[in-house]
Amino acid sequence: MLKAEGLAISAGGRELVRALDLSLAPGENWALLGPNGSGKTSLILALAGLRSPQAGTIALAGAPLGTYPRRELARQIAVLLQDEEADFWGSTFDYVMLGRYPRSKSAWGRDEEGAAAAHGRLAEVDLSHRAAQDYRTLSGGERQRARIAQVLLQDAEILLLDEPLQHLDLRHQALVMQILSGCAADGKTVLAALHEPGHAALHCAFSLLLYDAGRARLGRSSDMLTQANLEALYQCRLQAAGARSFLPS
């Protein structure tokens, strides 16, 4: 259980989150929605223990995040960052294997069990055929799937994902959403920043809407993802697109 109380986050002189109470329980699948610059990334970084909030506490299983050693925290919380340095020297498999770091004891970072698991994760994200290929030669979408495979290999109880669907084609968007739903069904906690409310409605039982100026609303997706709420969230008129809007089933 990851629990935030009285959370306040600001960045670049802007207040992004104010007095937010949030508790993410095992088996819950959360969508984090909000316009650009509303603080989705900052919230994820804070929940992952990578940035200190301006106020409030974040506790994992009752203990503040700061009291966990990094390695222990990495076994509990895995994070997909929105950006990372892409200058990795090895193969796609080498890249995914870095996700094994918190659980592997050897200085080589190689263990049979981990290697088998890494191949399993690559298969899961439909990337087995790229395992031996130089990571830098992957396309943007393939790279994104490799990054997701690395996060999955970490085998943490809590998954925080910042725009997991970026660069992905429709089929792989659906694949990733299904993988995340599967994780939640297995009792893991999932929170993903998304830009498509359709995916949230289809796959996430809970939604957290992050408005400008620090306001937030959270609850069941069925209550949250109404036309009125989304129009207020994105500050634009929406219409039901009918037969011309497609989401993978």
Residues that bind other proteins (CB under 8 A): 45, 48-50, 69-75, 77-79, 81, 84-85, 87-90, 94, 98-99, 101-102, 104, 106-109, 154
Shortest distance (Å) from residue 175 CB to other proteins: 23
Residue with smaller CB distance to other proteins, 121 or 203: 121
Residue with smaller CB distance to other proteins, 153 or 200: 153
Q: Which residues contact 75 (CB under 8 A, 6 or more apart)?
A: 102, 103, 154, 155, 156
Task: Please give the Cα distance from 235 to 132 (Å, whole number).
Answer: 45
Residue with smaller CB distance to other proteins, 193 or 225: 193
Q: Are 158 and 189 in contact (CB under 8 A)?
A: yes
Q: Which two tokens stand for residue 151?
A: 């996060």
Residue with smaller CB distance to other proteins, 14 or 103: 103
Shortest distance (Å) from residue 71 CB to other proteins: 4
Residue with smaller CB distance to other proteins, 48 or 194: 48
Shortest distance (Å) from residue 28 CB to other proteins: 20
**Burial letters for 137-167: b for 16+ Cβ neighbours within 10 Å, e otherwise?**
ebeebbbbbbbbbbbbbbbbbbbbbbbbbbe
Q: For the chain, report the end-to-end CA distance as a whole number of angstroms.
A: 30
Shortest distance (Å) from residue 68 CB to other proteins: 10
Burial class of residue 237 (count of CB atoms within 10 Å of its CB; 0-12, 13-18, 19+): exposed
Shortest distance (Å) from residue 102 CB to other proteins: 4
Shortest distance (Å) from residue 218 CB to other proteins: 24
Residue with smaller CB distance to other proteins, 108 or 246: 108
Residue with smaller CB distance to other proteins, 143 or 172: 143
Shortest distance (Å) from residue 147 CB to other proteins: 9
